[in-house]
């Protein structure tokens, strides 16, 4: 809550947000699991035995418009209305590489990717709600960044409706060609940074989404980031427990 201070306008916020910022300061940090010799968590969730795997075209082979970084930044804006033209699987492959592409695996302890991450921990996972992607069946997929593949996660006919409803029924979640859903696996970050790592999860999500905005310009697409969603609805829709893994950010993509 805010309270008015005499001659100073509004005082600082109080409540859970302020407490989170205070309790994740460096002075409160204890020893991390890494410093105590615990093994690092897996670099990605990987595929389950029951999941069907789809190979993606190699990003280096995908042709995109060379529009230049300055032009991409100038054109960047949130777009919620998309044409009926599908996104090609090649373009989706390129966008996935731009947002979470793995450039190097370092001794099975860390990955270097196309976006920055605190300590190269890369605690995010990417799910794709494919609504209109040429070459892909409609449904929910999880990106396997090290292998550069997709794992079919939920191909139920109602998956788009459930995710759309969890995003406060914003219609462009379903009218997009693809909706990117980023989840956080907090221990992957907390292993090194303890509770302060929760701050870094949100910073990493911002890095990833901005890369999506900029790279989408080179394939004639628009993007709209979404932070308005019901955690208690979207996590179960993806089959997540909301603790060891939870949705942190969403963005729609479609042809302009």
Number of structural domains the chain divides into: 1
Token digits for 192? 């090194």
What pLDDT score was predicted for residue 172? Answer: 98
Interatomic CA distance for residues 230 and 55, integer angstroms: 32
Range list of β-strands (E), the chain:
4-5, 9-10, 53-55, 87-88, 102-106, 110-113, 124-130, 133-134, 139-144, 149-154, 178-184, 221-226, 246-255
Its domain, for residue 239, covers 4-255
Tens of pLDDT along 89-105?
999 999 999 999 999 99
State the Rg of the chain over Cα: 19
**SS3 assignment for 69-130:** HHHHHHHCCECCCCCCCCEEHHHHHHHHHHHHCEEEEECCCEEEECCCCHHHCCCEEEEEEE
Helices vs strands, H then E, count in the chain:
8, 13
Per-residue pLDDT of the chain (256 residues; tens, 9 = 90+): 445 454 455 455 579 999 999 999 989 888 999 999 999 999 999 898 889 999 999 999 999 988 999 999 999 999 999 999 999 999 999 999 999 999 999 998 999 999 999 999 999 999 999 999 999 999 999 999 999 999 999 999 999 999 999 999 999 999 999 999 999 999 999 999 999 999 999 999 999 999 999 999 999 999 999 999 999 999 999 999 999 999 999 999 999 9
Interatomic CA distance for residues 78 and 226, integer angstroms: 10
Owner of token pair 């911002």: 206
Please report, for the domain that includes residue 96, its CATH number. 3.40.109.10
What pLDDT score was predicted for residue 13? Answer: 59
Interatomic CA distance for residues 35 and 2, integer angstroms: 39
Tens of pLDDT along 155-170?
999 999 999 999 999 9
DSSP for 151-173, please give it. Answer: EEEE--TTHHHHHHHHTTT-THH
């Amino acid at each position: 809550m805010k309270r008015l201070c005499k001659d100073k306008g509004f005082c600082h916020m109080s409540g859970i947000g302020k407490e989170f910022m205070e309790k994740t300061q460096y002075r409160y940090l204890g020893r991390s699991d890494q410093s105590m010799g615990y093994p690092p968590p897996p670099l990605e969730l990987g595929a389950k035995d029951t999941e069907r795997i789809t190979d993606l075209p190699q990003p280096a082979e995908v042709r995109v418009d060379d529009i230049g970084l300055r032009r991409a930044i100038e054109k960047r804006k949130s777009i919620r209305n998309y044409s009926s033209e599908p996104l090609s699987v090649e373009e989706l492959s390129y966008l996935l590489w731009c947002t979470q592409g793995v450039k190097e695996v370092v001794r099975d302890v860390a990955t270097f990717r196309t976006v920055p991450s605190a300590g190269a921990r890369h605690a995010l996972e990417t799910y794709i709600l494919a609504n209109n992607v040429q070459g892909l069946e409609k449904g929910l997929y999880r990106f396997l960044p090290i292998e550069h593949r997709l794992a079919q996660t939920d191909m139920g006919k109602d998956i788009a409706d459930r995710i759309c409803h969890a995003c406060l029924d914003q219609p462009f979640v379903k009218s997009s060609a693809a909706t990117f859903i980023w989840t956080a696996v907090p221990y992957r970050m907390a292993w090194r940074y303890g509770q302060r790592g929760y701050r870094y999860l949100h910073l990493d999500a911002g890095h990833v989404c901005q890369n999506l905005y900029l790279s989408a310009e080179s394939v004639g697409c628009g993007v709209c980031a979404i932070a308005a969603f019901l955690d208690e609805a979207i996590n179960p829709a993806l089959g997540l427990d909301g603790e060891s893994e939870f949705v942190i950010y969403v963005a729609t993509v479609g042809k302009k």
